[in-house]
């Protein structure tokens, strides 16, 4: 069953000096429970495509449906609700709230969704433990290293049990052990909770774990293969 359907999707950025086609007539389907890596050189359109799938950006042309919803038809407020209820995000720049602790950053979306305090606390602490940061739960982002902030961002993305996780370079700034732990967590949630993962990456360790690899170049899909690496 296709839970994400993309048809002839393009994103063009115009300025007074130049026109850049970041995503160029892309058509793709994603099934529920996929574990997919999008790869390609810098500037190939990976981040833009993820932002379009996640409803963080709007297409110049084409159509994208996520869980049956045509994102092009949603108002700004409807997109906010859609992202809150359906999608977890991991950003390259972490996007943690600086005045909140690691625990509070992870807990926040669950609170916005109306989870009761006990369930929020248990879920947030469990995820912080699994990413190796239980002892730093009370630390604010400024007191955490880049790799630690990235792990908090991943825990936050997974906290509310989203249907989809969109991750832009999720292992950036992580050492080998932290990368291994993170991939184990994502694989476990993918397997046990059927969360659909779509991530961009330059990290071969992540590519090796993906079950599908999509290659972008100049905004176009140049390859789409099932990964046989184990």
Q: Residue 148 corresponds to which tokens in the numbers above?
A: 């630690």
**12: three-class secondary structure by DSSP:** strand
**Which pLDDT value is given to residue 170?**
87
Alpha carbons 164 and 190: distance in angstroms, whole number? 10
Digitized pLDDT (tens) for each residue of the chain, 230 residues in all: 789 999 999 999 987 678 889 999 999 999 999 999 999 998 999 999 999 999 999 999 999 999 889 998 999 899 999 998 899 998 878 899 999 999 999 999 999 999 999 999 999 999 999 888 999 999 999 999 888 898 899 899 989 888 899 999 888 777 888 788 888 888 888 888 888 999 999 999 899 999 999 999 999 999 999 987 55
Reference 158, options 88, 206, 217, 205; nearest CA is 88
Alpha carbons 88 and 132: distance in angstroms, whole number? 20
Main-chain phi, psi angles of 197, to 5 degrees: -110, 130
Distance of CA 169 to the CA centre of its chain: 9
Q: Which domains, from first to last, does the chain contain?
A: 2-226 (3.40.50.300)
The CA–CA distances, whole Å, from 205 to 171, 177, 180 equal 9, 11, 8
**Which pLDDT value is given to residue 229?**
55
């Amino acid at each position: 069953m296709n839970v994400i359907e993309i048809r002839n999707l393009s994103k063009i950025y115009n300025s007074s000096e130049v026109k850049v086609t970041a995503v160029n007539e892309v058509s793709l389907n994603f099934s529920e429970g996929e574990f997919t890596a999008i790869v390609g050189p810098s500037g190939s359109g990976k981040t833009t495509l993820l932002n379009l799938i996640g409803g963080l950006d709007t297409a110049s042309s084409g159509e994208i449906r996520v869980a049956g919803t045509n994102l092009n038809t949603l108002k700004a407020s409807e997109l906010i609700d859609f992202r809150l209820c359906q999608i977890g995000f991991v950003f390259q720049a972490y996007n943690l709230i600086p005045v909140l602790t690691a625990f509070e950053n992870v807990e926040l979306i669950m609170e916005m969704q109306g989870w009761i305090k006990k369930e929020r606390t248990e879920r947030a602490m469990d995820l912080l433990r699994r990413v190796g940061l239980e002892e730093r739960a009370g630390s604010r982002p400024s007191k955490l290293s880049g790799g630690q902030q990235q792990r908090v961002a991943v825990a936050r993305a997974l906290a509310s049990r989203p249907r989809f996780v969109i991750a832009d370079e999720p292992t950036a700034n992580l050492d080998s052990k932290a990368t291994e732990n993170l991939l184990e967590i994502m694989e476990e949630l993918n397997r046990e909770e059927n969360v659909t993962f779509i991530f961009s990456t330059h990290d071969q360790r992540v590519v090796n774990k993906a079950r599908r690899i999509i290659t972008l170049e100049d905004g176009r899909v140049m390859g789409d293969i099932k990964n046989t690496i184990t």
